[in-house]
Structure 1
């Protein structure tokens, strides 16, 4: 990680880059704090969504630790965040377990076979858990639905029996994806409470995963908090949530420059970035980016296209009040979640730098990348 000692000015920064706004981050964290106070739940940051550890000093006072989906995330959370370190993986190798075991407070297994394979190795090192498939979810995209048919994620109820409680202290359910509907979440919570009551009443803790969009504008945080509190008291266990997007939504822009404008029935503004390399979920989930400079009433329509060689690689179609110009900067809004953790070197494109705009207006360079970084990913 590279830190700048020189004062930085937004106007002089070379695109592409991510700009993370500390005040926006704090606004979300204050909502997380309120939820914790009402519910008694503990919140651990989902590093699979956001691992930009240069911001962790801002986040740490509000959350209880981190949760991970792979060994490197476990190590990063342990080293740079502290608090509780939760480790989950769809599949641990023996080497993974040896790496995770000294670092994790909780190790959560995806299957009974994994639990049985690694129980003797790690049950004295950490509190063990098992991921359960509740067979219902609130996920708008099938690709992200953990309860989809033939899902490999978690153990279905029919495969469980009470002897599993001899090996685990907790369960983990993850069944939400950007769920803004508190009533839909409470319905799933009620289903879990009734369907798995014989297990819950004997557990010490339960993680309800992430994907609950409690920082969405006007989300009824108190209603969510009271439902979690009632659930926790009913079953006498510690509830955990694993927010990712909820913590960092609307905190960062991907800033790009227009480098060409081409015409083929529609005008396309080519920018110095690419969805496949820098904002992959735009492509995977077909979720167009929003552009700060665009206008709902604009009369100048453009495709915002990437500079990659992939024909369908574009950020969005939108319109502007004035024609775009070569060299003009555009801000692709809400670009923190699942972006920096998925950056890649497709086409050998320049990797975006990462900046952090502090509350006092200072801009800190968290990292920048060059040719040697690209080269190092492909050989020594």
Structure 2
């Protein structure tokens, strides 16, 4: 099946690019002794988990359905975390989770009796420091609800805990800044960490970014683990799938109102939501910076500000032309929605052999069923 035969919009995951990232992850594990669990909140397309499994140690989750998915489709270690569990949530995941991490001391007190003897108990701590490009994604932002601050800790809870989790990075591409965060954590929480069996340092560490100082990161992780006598975990999401996937779309119209807008058969609101939420323009494979033909790449939704980017092309765009929206794996397929009844993208994987494998497709029946299954 050739790409030209596929109906847009669709996601195309490139196995060779995915393996390139995974080989970097493997090297980090070998150098540092850290274990890596895939953050399903970023990427949950389980049809490619067989490619990822040999390289990582398991999955980590932010909600009960992710816990079940990781347990059923990935295996290895299954880490369960939620900002706010219900009792039913805890009952559902305690038997299948290897580690169950609570967000607060109050949730720990309410539900620990449901977990003891089943999963390893953990608590999220908030170090009050972070590296995050935008406040919306900053776990240590003012009034943060995420984890227990150092000043609020009841030291007695650590006597019956197995581990703790920190999450303090978002797309952190600097090993030096991460080392500084580790130093701060040791200074603030060292007396508690020394009692633990394991410590998760969360996700957002972009160790597959070009030029990242992997050896420096590995040395810092190894030293931290030895200092506190713990097994360290990282929870990579985007680091595993960055630059592996295109969202392929078709130009369906070109309109002009001072600027030319190429309308495509996709929408950021429905298919690439973080482009809209964080106001981070997408990149287009076919575009050329500084070229003479300037276009807004506009969505086909009715939301006025819904656009992928503004960019330039060497030649005028044409209706029916395909465009590849780059780096479209992270926080896309996990956030797909049916806004405006827009057709949802199919999902494919191109194997290293060149074979294209369909992982999922969606139709009108899926749209209809998502809204109601019965009438009054």
Give TM-score, length-normalised by structure 1. 0.98
1:277 aligns to 2:290 (yes or no): no
Deviations 1:95-144, CA, capped at 9 Å, x for gaps: 10111111100000000000000011111110010000100100010000
User: 2: distance between equivalents of 1:306 and 1:258?
Assistant: 10
Deviation at 1:63, TM superposition (A): 0.1
Deviations 1:303-334, CA, capped at 9 Å, x for gaps: 00000000000000000000000000000000
Partner of 1:218: 211
Partner of 2:317: 324
User: 1: distance between equivalents of 2:299 and 2:81?
Assistant: 35
| Equivalence map 1:272-351=2 (5 Å) | 272-351=265-344
State which of 252, 261, 273 in structure 1 corresponds to 2:254.
261
Deviation at 1:297, TM superposition (A): 3.0
| Equivalence map 1:171-250=2 (5 Å) | 171-250=164-243
Partner of 1:12: 5
Partner of 2:361: 368
User: 2: distance between equivalents of 1:104 and 1:373?
Assistant: 30
User: 2: distance between equivalents of 1:115 and 1:341?
Assistant: 28
Partner of 2:77: 84
State which of 23, 40, 44 in structure 2 corresponds to 1:51.
44
Deviation at 1:335, TM superposition (A): 0.1
Q: Is the 8 A contact 1:78 1:104 kept in 2?
A: yes
User: 2: distance between equivalents of 1:116 and 1:195?
Assistant: 23
Partner of 1:156: 149
User: 1: distance between equivalents of 2:261 and 2:287?
Assistant: 14
Q: Is the 8 A contact 1:259 1:271 kept in 2?
A: yes
Structure 1 runs not aligned, ≥5 long:
1-7
User: 2: distance between equivalents of 1:342 and 1:168?
Assistant: 33
Give TM-score, length-normalised by structure 2. 0.99
Find the residue that maps to 2:371 and give its secondary structure: coil
Count residues with an aligned counterpart.
Answer: 373
1:128 aligns to 2:121 (yes or no): yes
Partner of 2:112: 119
Find the residue that maps to 1:171 and give its secondary structure: strand
User: 1: distance between equivalents of 2:126 and 2:25?
Assistant: 26
User: 2: distance between equivalents of 1:167 and 1:306?
Assistant: 52
Deviation at 1:78, TM superposition (A): 0.1
Partner of 1:137: 130
User: 1: distance between equivalents of 2:70 and 2:55?
Assistant: 15
User: 2: distance between equivalents of 1:167 and 1:349?
Assistant: 50
Partner of 1:353: 346
User: 2: distance between equivalents of 1:184 and 1:234?
Assistant: 19
User: 1: distance between equivalents of 2:193 and 2:86?
Assistant: 28
Structure 2 runs not aligned, ≥5 long:
none
State which of 2, 16, 30 in structure 2 corresponds to 1:37.
30
Deviation at 1:167, TM superposition (A): 2.8
User: 2: distance between equivalents of 1:288 and 1:84?
Assistant: 36
Deviation at 1:69, TM superposition (A): 0.2
Say what the alpha-carbon RMSD is for the aligned residues.
Answer: 0.5
User: 2: distance between equivalents of 1:28 and 1:166?
Assistant: 38
User: 1: distance between equivalents of 2:114 and 2:250?
Assistant: 52
Deviation at 1:166, TM superposition (A): 2.5
User: 1: distance between equivalents of 2:185 and 2:116?
Assistant: 26
Deviating beyond 3 angstroms after TM superposition, the runs of 4 or more aligned structure 1 residues are none
Partner of 1:4: none
Partner of 1:5: none
Q: Is the 8 A contact 1:119 1:167 kept in 2?
A: no
Find the residue that maps to 1:377 and give its secondary structure: helix
Find the residue that maps to 1:298 and give its secondary structure: coil
